[in-house]
Amino acid sequence: MPWAADAPVVLLAGGVGGARLAHGLHFHLGERLTVVVNSADDLERHGLAVWPDHDTVMYTLAGLDDRERGWGLRDETWNVMEQLQRLGQDAWFALGDRDIATHLVRTELLRDGTRPTEAARRLQAALGISARILPMTDDLVRTRVRTDDGWLDFQTYFVRLHQEPAVLEVAFEGAPAASATWEVTTAVRSAAAVLVAPSNPIVSVGPILAVPGIQEALAETRRRGTPVVAMSGIVGGRALRGPADRMLASLGHEASALGVARLYAPWVDVFVIDQVDAALAPQIEALGLRVVVTDTIMSDDAARARIAGEMLAAAGVAGS
């Protein structure tokens, strides 16, 4: 084997879909798991640095997530939001009271000059997480989407407008001038396997690939025989939540596991699709991908662990 037995397993992830698979992988891998998380959805609200995808993964791995809501902390309260509204603030982006503590600590670390990657690691350590969650870059990258009303910030589209406008174009502002951190490129280059969460291929996985240095590291690690294994977040032509299906369609792609496979074929080796999409397997194989068909719905802990185990097996990695 070209890699050490304790070589990291790297997961490329967005928020909810990323967190569910990260959680399953964490059962098998513990500190061997390195999650590279999309940071192009990050925003500043009320003077605070808010990192939705990072925090969804972090709270999930810490066992503090609210499973019903799908984001934020369990047993959350909303006093700060109420008071902000009383003070005349437009509180369209909901931040829970306990969640705000995360943003306060992070904002202070960043203000003091701490690198985003280092600030992320400190918060993860404080919550007792053994895996590493690495922002895709320390540089500022922001997703913007073009709609009939022109270009919008990602969270204006996603949260404020409830993903209602059709997305006609997507841009990752700042990406061309950004660079991958050495933590991310080293993890990818030394990985036993690189996995891709069933996250939104356009606005969760897309920004990670847009950071200069990451595709190069992926290509290098594949040349050395490390497999890249991705899971479809489109099941039966639909996203389980969020706008991935509509976004694929409005951008001219097929809203199906096959549509995602077409986007991933140039840089992925194995594609995991749901059993309801089994009929698409021959067409996906024709793209040069190996296909694994299974139940991909990560409803509870047992399903998460099982699906993660199947992805690791497809990547030739022995779990513990």
Binding residues vs ligand GDP (CB under 6 A): 13-18, 20, 53, 56, 197-200, 204, 231-233, 235, 239-242, 244, 274, 296-298
Nearer to ligand GDP, 54 or 121 (CB): 54
Q: Which does 259 bind (CB under 5 to 8 A by kind): ligand GDP, Ca ion, none?
A: none
* Least distance CB 304 / ligand GDP (angstroms): 8
* Least distance CB 59 / ligand GDP (angstroms): 12
Q: Which does 192 bind (CB under 5 to 8 A by kind): ligand GDP, Ca ion, none?
A: none
* Least distance CB 14 / Ca ion (angstroms): 4
Question: What's the CA angle centered on 47, arms 42 and 50, to 5 degrees?
Answer: 25
3-state secondary structure of 34: strand
Tell me if 42 contacts Ca ion by CB under 5 A: no
Strands 270-274 and 290-294: parallel
Task: Report how far residue 294's alpha carbon sits from residue 132's, in angstroms, rounded to the nearest whole number.
Answer: 27
Alpha carbon 308 to its chain's center? 15
- The letter for the amino acid at 29 is L
* Least distance CB 12 / Ca ion (angstroms): 13
Nearer to ligand GDP, 38 or 117 (CB): 38
Task: Report how far residue 301's alpha carbon sits from residue 23's, in angstroms, rounded to the nearest whole number.
Answer: 8
**Binding letters toward Ca ion, positions 53-72, x by CB under 5 A:** x-------------------
For helices 16-29 and 52-61, the axis angle rounded to 10 degrees is 30
CA dihedral (157, 254, 21, 67) in degrees, to 10, reads: 50
- The letter for the amino acid at 33 is L
Alpha carbon 215 to its chain's center? 16
Q: Give the nearest residue (CB) to Ca ion.
A: 15
* Least distance CB 272 / ligand GDP (angstroms): 8
Q: Which does 198 bind (CB under 5 to 8 A by kind): ligand GDP, Ca ion, none?
A: ligand GDP
Q: Which of 39, 41, 96, 227 binds Ca ion (CB under 5 A)?
A: 41
Strands 228-231 and 142-147: unpaired
